[in-house]
A and B are shown apart, each in its own frame.
Chain A
Amino acid sequence: MSPWLDFVLFSILAATAVGVVILRNLFAVVMLGAVFSLVTAALFVVMDAPDVAFTEAAVGAGITTVLLLGALTLTTRHERPGSSGIAIPLAVSLITGAVLVYGSLDLPRFGSPDAPIHLHLAPEFLVGREPEIDIPNIVTAILASYRGFDTLGEVIVVFTAGIGVLLLIGRHHVGRRNRVEDAADDKGEAPDSPAQSPPEST
């Protein structure tokens, strides 16, 4: 695969990230987040990582959008401009970026067979998978069997996150208030028409 597709997709990704920083309308930012996840998943597919792309596709565009919208109920529609100056954040970003670029110089080339990860564990997994586990998808074999303990930890993290959200904003008497409202809705409600509804745009 020639690298031009990578370049174009990364450019779109960078443009999206800049848009997230510039735009003040939080709805637009949520939508840009969905676009960011779409482009990321396309990049993962281009880089031969279908399992990660699958996760990004399942979580990024749908669930994250819904959850971010849920978080928007707790705040306003527009981001307030920050009060502090631009100098300190810019310096922090530049220094962090420079350190990251410097660190990436030591990384092995993308897909290089001499990378440390391909010298120690990966051959063992790839050779041992056939007689020991015998399923075609190596990712599932590693995740569920060789690294089963880590995956148990991930499941518990998800479980803990769910409990935390429930404790913070969960409800106890589910739906009682809504039921009363719905009865009122059913009785005296005309179909939506543009004449009745106030324009919501400001």
Chain B
Amino acid sequence: MRHHLILRIITKLLIAPILLFALYVQVHGEISPGGGFQAGVIAAAAIILYGLVFGLEAAERAVPPSFVHGIMVSGVLIYAGTGVYSMAVGGQFLDYDQLDPHYPVHGQHLGIVLVELGVLFTVSATMILIFYAFAGRPTPIGEKDW
């Protein structure tokens, strides 16, 4: 899609609002519907839109696959690390009350924010990587079958 001027302009206009909306869904997950999973998918959708219109190579320049690999792993590590930390300071696994011993409610808030961050990282990175893997395949479809 090299010559599609209208598509390129509109896509450039749309990508920033989509990412902003993903951030809104992420941080508003405690108040309104939404949370880490939904925000992750929306953020991945922004990258996929970029890859669709500007080509896979441009998307891989903007968000390198090695970086996405790191994000995918760090999401699980953040989530599990929260649980291990709460275990290390004397509670049970994923017992957020221990994160702030004086105000357990604040500990719960902190724990939920961390956990949602981990979900966001893993889900968005996985979606982007699956898109990269599918989009990068050469097509085996012959002229006859098409």
**Chain A residues at the B interface, C-beta cutoff of 8 Å:** 50-51, 53-55, 58-59, 62-63, 66-67, 70-71, 73-74, 76-77, 131-137, 139-141, 143-145, 148-149, 151-152, 155-156, 158-159, 161-162, 165-166, 169-171, 174-175, 178-179, 182, 185, 189, 191-192, 200, 202
Question: Complex: how many Å from CA A151 to CA B96?
Answer: 14
Question: Complex: how many Å from CA A136 to CA B60?
Answer: 39
Known: A54-B38, A67-B130, A148-B115. 18 other contacts (CB 8 A): A50-B33, A62-B45, A63-B127, A73-B134, A134-B108, A139-B33, A139-B35, A144-B115, A151-B119, A155-B76, A155-B118, A155-B119, A158-B126, A161-B126, A169-B137, A175-B57, A175-B136, A200-B146
Question: Complex: how many Å from CA A155 to CA B41?
Answer: 13
Question: What are 23 residue pairs bridging A and B, where the CB atoms are less than 8 Å apart in the complex?
Answer: A51-B34, A54-B34, A58-B38, A58-B42, A58-B45, A66-B134, A73-B141, A74-B140, A133-B108, A134-B108, A137-B31, A140-B29, A144-B112, A145-B111, A151-B79, A158-B123, A159-B75, A162-B129, A165-B130, A169-B133, A171-B136, A182-B55, A189-B2
- Tell me the smallest distance from the CB of A140 to a CB of chain B, in Å: 5
A145 touches B112 (CB 8 A): yes
Known: A54-B38, A159-B76, A171-B133. A192 touches B3 (CB 8 A): yes
Residues of B within 8 A of A149 (CB): 93-94
- Tell me the smallest distance from the CB of A4 to a CB of chain B, in Å: 25
Which of B105, B122, B129 interacts with A134 by CB under 8 Å? B105
Residues of A within 8 A of B141 (CB): 73, 76-77
Question: Complex: how many Å from CA A137 to CA B29?
Answer: 7
Residues of B within 8 A of A191 (CB): 3
Question: Complex: how many Å from CA A152 to CA B41?
Answer: 17
Question: Closest residue of chain B to A190, judged by CB?
Answer: B3
B48 touches A66 (CB 8 A): yes
